[in-house]
Chains A and B, each alone.
Chain A
C-alpha cells in the first residue's frame, strides 16, 4: 500500500517534470536571478538591507492600496460576471456567440488606449467629467473591472455549461425556490470555477500596470508600478527585490487560500454537455443584468470607435486609410497589416505552447489522488503554475536578460522568447478553464471504459475529450486573446523589425502629430475587430457527434 503511494507520486512527478522544467527555466530562474541582484551588495549577501525596505511607510501604503483596489475590483468582476456567464452560456439568447466573442475584446485592447478612452469619458472635459472620478481609485477600479469581467464570464461560463442540470431540477421538483437552487445546488457546484476565476482576476488586478498609471495618475502607486519605478527610473534594485519578495509571498498565500476554497466535497459531480434552453420570463433579471454589464463595457469601446472616426475635427475614415502605409513622419514602425500579421503569428505560437503545457498541467492536477501526500503534491503543482500571473513582469523581464544569457540557455535573443513569455501569461488561464471540467469527470467512467477493453488513448478520446472539447476551445481562444493583447513582456522583448500591433499602437501614441492619436485609435479598433473575428471562428468550431453526446 505504502510503496504503491510512493510509486504513484513518483509517476506523477515524472509526468510533471516537463512542465515544471519549462516553468523553472522561464520563470523561477529569471525571477530568482533578478531578486538576487537586490540581495547582494558589494559582492556580499546582505538580506538585512532588503528587509529594512519593507519597513518603509511608503511600502506599506503601496501594498495596502494594491490589496484593497484589487480586492474590490475582483469582487465587482465576479458579481457582474456571474449573471452574464449564466445568460451567455446556458440561455438561448440570440447572438450570444457574437456577444461572447465581443466580451473578450477588452482583454486585448492595449491598456494605454483604454486608459485614454476612459479619460476621454471621465476627464475634466468628458461627458462624465462632473463626477470628478479622474485620477481616483474609483477610476482605477472601473478600468480593472472593464478588463477582467471577461475572465469571470468565460471561466465560470464554461463550467456552468457542462454542469449537470438534473440535481437542480430535482431540488426544484422537491419544492426549492430558484434562489434556493442557486444557493444550495448550483453555486456550490460552481465554486471551484468561481474561486479559480476570482484568483486569476485578483492576480491580474494586483499586477496591472498601464491602467493604474493612466487612470490613477501619479498619485496612486501599486506594488507593480513601484517595482517598475524602482528598477528602471531609480535603479534601486534592493528595494525592487524587497517588493518582489513581498509580492511572491502574498501571491503564494493567496493561492494556498484559493486552493482550500476551491476544494469541494464531491468534485465528481456529473459533467455533461447541456443544451442551452429557451429564455423564459423568470430569466428577465439575469438577462437585464447581463445587458447592463454589456452596455457599461460598450461605452469605453464606443468612445474609442468614435474617436477613430474623427479626423481634424470632422468625421471620416482617414485614420483607417492611413494605416495601410507607415503614416506621416514614419509614425508607424510597420504598416498595421504587417504588425497584425506578426501579432497573429506570435499568438498562434503562444497559444499552442500554453495549450500543450496547460492540458498536461490540468490533467496532472485533476487526476484523483489516492493519498494525502499525493493530493498535496498535486495542489502544490497547481499553485506553482499560477505563479507567473502574480509576479512582476518587470522583475521577470530583467531576469531573462541576466540569467538566460549563457549557452545552453542563451535565449535572450531568440525570436521565440516573446511567444514563450506570452504563453507564460496565458498558461494559468488555460489551466483554470480546464481544471473545473476535468476535475468533474468521474474516474469511474474511465475505469469502466478500461474494463470494457478500451486502451488509455481510446479512454481519453471517448471519456475525456467529449466533455473537454469545448472548454479546450474556450481556453485556446482565451490564450490567443491574452497573447494578442499582451504588452508588458512584449514591449520589453519585442524586436524592432517585427513589432506586434500593441507595440505599434503604443508608439503612435507616444508622439505628437495631427493624425497619430486617431491612427492609434483606428489601429486599436482593427485589433479589437480581428480578435472578435478570431474568437467567433473558434467558437464556431464544432466536432460533429460530440455536441450530441
Chain B
C-alpha cells in the first residue's frame, strides 16, 4: 500500500513540476515574436519601449511595418488606466520605465511634466497648434483626441414624444428628471471630463449646478461601463435612463439599418487630448522620437478610430465612414487648462464627493 502511494505521489509531483517548468520556459508566445523581429530589423537595432495605458492597441501589421522600416523593435508595456500611467511616470522620473510614453491626457499632463518625466523633442511633422499644451508643448506631442459629451437615446425620446435636451443647463430641467446617468468624477476619466465641462460652464458655482443635477434625480455610478451597459437605455436591455455621459464617437456604435439611434450633444463636450513624449533619461531616445513620428504618420493616425475609439489629430488622416457620418466632433468644446486642473483637482474632488454623497 505504502509503496504504491509513494510511487503515485512521486509521479504526480514530477508531472506537476514538468507542467510548471514547461510554463516557465517555453510558455510566453510573445517572446519569440519579439526576438524574431529583433533579428529581422537590424539596421539601427535596439528595442524601443513604450509605456502606455491598457486601452492602447494598434494593428499588428502597422507595428511590423514600423519595425521593418525603422530597424527598431517595439516593446509595448500597457497596463492600468491613464491616472495610473501618470502616477507611474511621475514616480519613476529619475529611472524611467520606458523610452517613450503615450496616453497622458490634458487632465493629467501637469503631474508628470512637473516631476520632470519628459525630455524635449521635435517631431518631424508638427501636429496642429489647436491641440498643443500651453505649458509643456515642447515635451508632449498630441496624438489623438476624444470628447466626452452627454449622449441621448434619440429612439427613446422619439417614442416618448419628448424633445431631447441640448445643453448642460437643460439637464436640471424637471422635464428630464431621473433620466441622466453619469460615471463619477472621482472614479472615471469620462466622469472627470464631464465634471470639468460643468466647471468650465459654471465656474465656482459648480456645486450649485451639481446640487440641482442631483435634485433632478441624476444617477452617479462608478465607471463608464456601469453607466453605459448598466443604466443607459440604448446600451442595456434593462436600462432605464436615456441620457448618459459618453463620447462624441459613441453614436457611431449604435448604427442599425443605416441610421444611429443615439446622438452626442455637441454643446456639452469636454475634449480630452492624449499626448506622447520621450521620457527623460531614456535608454533609446532616438528610437522614442522615431516611434512618435510614426504615431503621427497618416497610417497610424487613420488606424486610431478603429483601434482606440479616438479621433486622429493630423489633418491628413481619414476616419471610418460611420464616424464621418454619425459622429461629428464638437467645434467649440469646454476647456479647463491642465494647470488649473492640477491646482484644484484634490479640492474639487473632495467637494464633489461631498455634494454627491449628501
Q: Which residues of A contact B (CB under 8 A)?
A: 37, 58, 112, 115-116, 119-120, 123-126, 135, 213-214, 216-219, 221, 225, 229, 231-236, 310, 313, 329-330, 333, 338, 341-342, 345-346, 348-349, 351-352, 398, 401-402, 405-406, 412-413, 415-416, 461-462, 465-466, 469, 491-498, 503, 506-507, 509-514, 517, 541, 543-546, 548-549
Give chain B residues whose Cβ lies under 8 Å from the Cβ of A511: 55, 309
Q: Of A124, A225, A498, which contacts B28 at CB under 8 A? A: A498
Check if A218 sits within 8 Å of B97, measured CB to CB. no
Bits for B323-358, please: 1 = Cβ < 8 Å to A, else 0: 000000000000000000000011001100100110
Give chain B residues whose Cβ lies under 8 Å from the Cβ of A124: 231, 240-241
Q: Of B24, B92, B224, which contacts A405 at CB under 8 A? A: B92
Give chain A residues whose Cβ lies under 8 Å from the Cβ of B31: 415
Chain A nearest CB, measured from B280 CB (Å): 15
Given contacts A218-B220, A405-B95, A498-B30, contact A507 B2 (CB under 8 A): no
Q: Of A37, A120, A352, which contacts B230 at CB under 8 A? A: A120
Complex CA gap A213/B349 in Å reads: 16
Complex CA gap A31/B52 in Å reads: 23
Check if A123 sits within 8 Å of B230, measured CB to CB. yes
Q: Of B19, B54, B236, which contacts A491 at CB under 8 A? A: B54
Check if A507 sits within 8 Å of B55, measured CB to CB. yes
Give chain A residues whose Cβ lies under 8 Å from the Cβ of B287: none
Q: Of A341, A493, A503, A513, which contacts B253 at CB under 8 A? A: A513
3 A-B pairs with least C-beta separation: A218-B184, A232-B83, A496-B78
Beyond A217-B222, A233-B349, A544-B4, 20 additional pairs, beta carbon < 8 A: A119-B226, A123-B238, A214-B223, A214-B226, A218-B356, A221-B353, A235-B86, A310-B237, A345-B28, A348-B23, A351-B20, A352-B17, A398-B91, A405-B97, A415-B31, A491-B80, A494-B79, A512-B247, A546-B5, A549-B5
Give chain A residues whose Cβ lies under 8 Å from the Cβ of B187: 213, 218, 225, 229
Q: Of A233, A313, A330, A349, which contacts B59 at CB under 8 A? A: A330
Chain A nearest CB, measured from B137 CB (Å): 22
Given contacts A119-B226, A120-B230, A401-B92, contact A545 B5 (CB under 8 A): yes
Give chain B residues whose Cβ lies under 8 Å from the Cβ of A217: 184, 220-222
Complex CA gap A214/B184 in Å reads: 11
Which of A405, A412, A511, A541 gathers most chain B CB within 10 Å? A511
Q: Which residues of B contact A (CB under 8 A)?
A: 1-2, 4-6, 8-9, 12, 16-17, 19-20, 23-24, 27-31, 33-34, 52, 54-57, 59, 76-81, 83-84, 86-88, 90-92, 95, 97, 111, 184-187, 192, 220-226, 228-231, 235-241, 246-247, 249-250, 253-254, 306-307, 309, 345-346, 349-350, 353, 356-357
Could you list 14 examples of A-B contacts with CB < 8 Å? A125-B238, A217-B184, A218-B184, A218-B187, A219-B357, A225-B187, A329-B307, A492-B79, A494-B78, A510-B224, A512-B250, A514-B253, A543-B9, A549-B5
Check if B225 sits within 8 Å of A544, measured CB to CB. no
Given contacts A116-B226, A124-B231, A338-B29, contact A233 B20 (CB under 8 A): no
Complex CA gap A217/B59 in Å reads: 35
Check if B254 sits within 8 Å of A506, measured CB to CB. no
Which of A233, A461, A548, A549 gathers most chain B CB within 10 Å? A233
Give chain B residues whose Cβ lies under 8 Å from the Cβ of A503: 54
Complex CA gap A258/B249 in Å reads: 53
Give chain A residues whose Cβ lies under 8 Å from the Cβ of B29: 338, 341-342, 498
Complex CA gap A233/B235 in Å reads: 27
Which of B28, B86, B192, B306 gathers most chain A CB within 10 Å? B28
Complex CA gap A543/B192 in Å reads: 57
Give chain B residues whose Cβ lies under 8 Å from the Cβ of A415: 28, 31
Q: Of A119, A236, A310, A545, which contacts B8 at CB under 8 A? A: A545
Give chain B residues whose Cβ lies under 8 Å from the Cβ of A496: 52, 56-57, 76-79
Give chain A residues whose Cβ lies under 8 Å from the Cβ of B247: 512
Chain B: which residue is nearest A61 at the CB level? Answer: B357
Check if B1 sits within 8 Å of A545, measured CB to CB. yes
Check if A543 sits within 8 Å of B5, measured CB to CB. yes
Q: Of B30, B225, B238, B357, which contacts A497 at CB under 8 A? A: B30
Chain A nearest CB, measured from B152 CB (Å): 14
Complex CA gap A119/B9 in Å reads: 46
Check if B246 sits within 8 Å of A512, measured CB to CB. yes
Q: Of A123, A218, A507, A514, which contacts B353 at CB under 8 A? A: A218
Chain A: which residue is nearest B357 at the CB level? Answer: A219
Check if B223 sits within 8 Å of A330, measured CB to CB. no
Chain A: which residue is nearest B96 at the CB level? Answer: A405
Give chain A residues whose Cβ lies under 8 Å from the Cβ of B9: 461, 465, 469, 543, 546
Give chain A residues whose Cβ lies under 8 Å from the Cβ of B184: 217-218
Give chain B residues whose Cβ lies under 8 Å from the Cβ of A416: 24
Q: Of A37, A345, A346, A497, which contacts B91 at CB under 8 A? A: A37
Check if B77 sits within 8 Å of A413, measured CB to CB. yes
Complex CA gap A225/B188 in Å reads: 12
Give chain B residues whose Cβ lies under 8 Å from the Cβ of A229: 186-187, 349
Check if A514 sits within 8 Å of B97, measured CB to CB. no
Give chain A residues whose Cβ lies under 8 Å from the Cβ of B307: 329-330
Complex CA gap A310/B235 in Å reads: 13
Check if B57 sits within 8 Å of A512, measured CB to CB. no
Check if B1 sits within 8 Å of A548, measured CB to CB. yes
Give chain A residues whose Cβ lies under 8 Å from the Cβ of B222: 115, 213-214, 216-218
Check if B356 sits within 8 Å of A219, measured CB to CB. yes
Check if B12 sits within 8 Å of A541, measured CB to CB. yes
Chain B nearest CB, measured from A383 CB (Å): 28
Check if A493 sits within 8 Å of B223, measured CB to CB. no
Which of B185, B230, B349 gathers most chain A CB within 10 Å? B230
Given contacts A218-B220, A510-B224, contact A330 B17 (CB under 8 A): no
Check if B357 sits within 8 Å of A234, measured CB to CB. no
Check if B229 sits within 8 Å of A509, measured CB to CB. yes
Chain B nearest CB, measured from A29 CB (Å): 15
Give chain A residues whose Cβ lies under 8 Å from the Cβ of B185: 218
Give chain A residues whose Cβ lies under 8 Å from the Cβ of B27: 345, 349
Give chain B residues whose Cβ lies under 8 Å from the Cβ of A219: 220, 356-357
Complex CA gap A506/B79 in Å reads: 12
Q: Of A37, A216, A310, A352, which contacts B20 at CB under 8 A? A: A352
